[in-house]
Amino acid sequence: MSVPRETIMETIAKAREAAPGRGFEQSVDLTINLRDLDMRQPTNRIDLRVSVPNGVGGQKVLVFASGDLALRARRAGADSVIEPEELNQLASDKKAAKKRLKDYQIFVAEAPLMPTVGRVAGPILGPKGKMPMPVPSQAPIDAVLERERRVVILRSRERPFVKCKVGKESMSDEEIAGNIEAILSGLMASLKRGMNNVRSIHVKLTMGPAVRLI
């Protein structure tokens, strides 16, 4: 069973109406409550990367790279680049490393740097499900960044629900609905009983109440 596009659009509209206006652009969030899954069993936990067609906006990318790849990453529009010298400095200052990484949602790392990146950033990013995507030194970094900005990560850990950002207030209802459809399709394919493992789905804006989709 899939959720009709019309139902998704109606729910997004209701969520917009219910959310008070704010002096900043709110995100649009999706919460999917699961059922009949023992989340104590690691095999039942959700850890999924889903590519959405319209991006979700505001995804800042940090790239760990050296030399030519670092240069190309900057030209391709990476929001920040950490090269080996800075990476080695952060290795001895956990507080500085945490502060340096906190404003980014997407991380990409040149493969040869992954051992050091894992040691420095792993304890910070691992628990958040944001470990860097390793890429070869000759990777077409512009295409990589475009792809990664469209990725939404779904993680349940030990609790029977997943939450994720599906767009921002300035996006059209059609764009947000397309993203929600992609996320639901990816998640249903990973659940043992598909939609039968879903208790409820809600949509909300950052400062608004949750509106039930199903």
**Contact of 61 with 148, CB cutoff 8 Å:** yes
**So what's the pLDDT on residue 200?**
97
**So what's the pLDDT on residue 21?**
85
**So what's the pLDDT on residue 3?**
93
**So what's the pLDDT on residue 74?**
98
Residue 134 has pLDDT above 70, yes or no: yes
Residue 1 has pLDDT above 80, yes or no: no
**Distance, first Cα to last Cα, the chain:** 12
Residues 6+ apart with CB under 8 A from 164: 29, 30, 152, 153, 154, 183
**So what's the pLDDT on residue 197?**
96
Residue 14 has pLDDT above 60, yes or no: yes
Which amino acid, one-letter code, is at 66? Answer: S
The whole-angstrom separation of Cα 212 and Cα 204 is 9
pTM: 0.89
- Tell me the average pLDDT across 86-108: 96
Chain mean pLDDT for the chain: 95
Q: Which helix (H) or strand (E) holds 188?
A: helix 173-190
The whole-angstrom separation of Cα 99 and Cα 127 is 16
Helix, strand, coil shares of the chain, percent, nearest 5, are 40, 25, 35
**So what's the pLDDT on residue 2?**
80
- Tell me the average pLDDT across 104-108: 95
Sole residue written with tokens 């790392």: 109
**So what's the pLDDT on residue 129?**
85
- With CA atoms as reference, report the closest residue to 177 among 52, 57, 88: 52
- Tell me the average pLDDT across 46-53: 94
In this predicted model, what pLDDT tens digit does every residue of 169-184 receive, in sequence order?
999 999 999 999 999 9
In this predicted model, what pLDDT tens digit does every residue of 54-72 receive, in sequence order?
999 888 999 999 999 999 9
**So what's the pLDDT on residue 157?**
82
